[in-house]
Amino acid sequence: MNREPTLDVRPPSQTIAFAAPLLGDEEFAASDTVLRSGWIASGPNVIALEKELSAYFGNRPTRVLTSETAALEVALQLLGIGSGDEVLIGAQTFFSSGNMVEKVGAKSVFVDVDLKSRNIDLADATRRLTSRTRAIIPTHYAGLACDMDALYAFARQHNVRVIEDAALAVGSSWRGKAIGSFGDIALFSFHPNKNITTIEGGALVCNDVADAKRVEVLRFHGISRLPDQTRDVDFPGGKFNMPDVNAAIGRAQLKKLDRFSARRRQLAHRYLANLGGVLPDELLPHRGHAGDEAGHSWNLFAIRLPLERIRATRPQIMESLRARMIATSVSYESPHLTTLFRSQGWKPGDLPNTELIANTTLTLPLHAGLSEADVDYVSAALASVLKEVDFR
């Protein structure tokens, strides 16, 4: 199978980053303006960013927070999920999903995923439903939207709320509609390795203004103002308000989102073309839904390694690529096999697809600042490394 791409490639002058924000003069000027204004905590830029995100998400009420993890905690609190409740979680996800469910006192019920898309397997979700199931948290893995028609049919049939983990999916769409512009609650991340950044930050997209107002209370100590302008607390909320300097950077980034997503899509397709003769199709990332490939925003480019057919471990492959000045990562480990959830009875073999993906995945560099030459170099380097360990 292995065929080295016949590309004119040259070693880079510095390590090719796995992920990196693309910041320019607009972001530098925006942050400088805020810093010079003296108003650097939550202020007018937060309000403006929320309005601009709301417009992007089909005029749905949107509130920003310090992270997507904070947004998830607040979303669970908004729905009143706690002790005695269960939440279904697509298991190809970051640790924060299970962590926040446990933090509010509910039980995390992990669900296996489809081997190719890595998105939640709704048939397995059905098997794991109980009378205590209150919500489902699907992850739009790598920027590829879940089957939204099937997801919301499932939610209606079983009367559960949906909290979309769209941390990787800002800029993604389903059949021409932006993820976050329809459905139930949607959460986004603006960490520096996402398609746009606010340094740290996230957003929660609500169904109505009343929910958005409640999010404002939950994200700031549970404080609400009384008619006499004194304050009251009716819930032990956290402190998750985004600073204005972050919001100003986010506003500049949001204007570039469509361009960034198009660039990521272009680079991902180049990877797929380069690696088509190197790895079998089942080890390459999902291209996108048939007829709707433009809906994939490509936050990650995660292959699976043919470890059973080569004389090397994943750490050895990663080290060989690092020696060639290529940074890689693992996206993601199996959350149900962490110490936290093993202590609750989860064990190897419970989620076979998730575990196979977790044990073999390798995430290659992909961000809007990459060049075609970078992608060609990474592709050729990977082919060379696999050839060295006898993959044919």
pLDDT tens digits, one per residue of 65-84: 999 999 999 999 999 999 99
pLDDT number for residue 8:
61
Say whether pLDDT at 294 is over 70: yes
Say whether pLDDT at 7 is over 70: no
Say whether pLDDT at 330 is over 90: yes
Among 140-144, 197-201, 291-295, 376-380, which stretch is predicted with the lowest mean pLDDT? 291-295
pTM equals 0.95
Which tens digits make up the pLDDT trace of 251-284? 999 999 999 999 999 999 999 999 999 999 999 9
Name the band, by pLDDT with cuts 50, 70 and 90, for residue 13: confident
The 8 Å CB, 24+ separation contacts for 215-223 are 215/63, 215/74, 215/78, 216/63, 218/74, 218/77, 218/78, 219/63, 219/65, 219/70, 219/74
Q: Tell me how crowded residue 320 is: count the other CB atoms within 10 A of its CB.
A: 18
Contact between 121 and 160 (Cβ < 8 Å):
no
Segment 30-53 shows an average pLDDT of 96
Say whether pLDDT at 176 is over 70: yes
Q: In whole numbers, what is the pLDDT of the chain averaged over residues?
A: 96
What percentage of the chain reaches a pLDDT higher than 90?
Answer: 94
Say whether pLDDT at 250 is over 90: yes
Name the band, by pLDDT with cuts 50, 70 and 90, for residue 292: confident
pLDDT number for residue 2:
58
Residues recognised as catalytic = 194
Contact between 100 and 72 (Cβ < 8 Å):
yes
pLDDT number for residue 4:
66
Say whether pLDDT at 3 is over 70: no
Class of the 257-388 domain?
Answer: alpha beta
pLDDT number for residue 335:
98
pLDDT number for residue 12:
85
Segment 365-392 shows an average pLDDT of 95
Name the band, by pLDDT with cuts 50, 70 and 90, for residue 290: confident
pLDDT number for residue 245:
97
The alpha carbon of residue 295 and the mean position of all alpha carbons in its chain are separated, in whole angstroms, by 15
Which CA distances in Å does 21 have to 18, 138, 190, 195? 11, 25, 10, 8
> Per CATH, which fold does 25-254 belong to?
Aspartate Aminotransferase; domain 2 (3.40.640)
pLDDT number for residue 71:
98
Segment 324-344 shows an average pLDDT of 97
Q: Which residue ranges make up each domain of the chain?
A: 25-254, 257-388
Name the band, by pLDDT with cuts 50, 70 and 90, for residue 1: low
pLDDT number for residue 289:
87
Say whether pLDDT at 291 is over 90: no
pLDDT number for residue 5:
64
Segment 130-141 shows an average pLDDT of 98
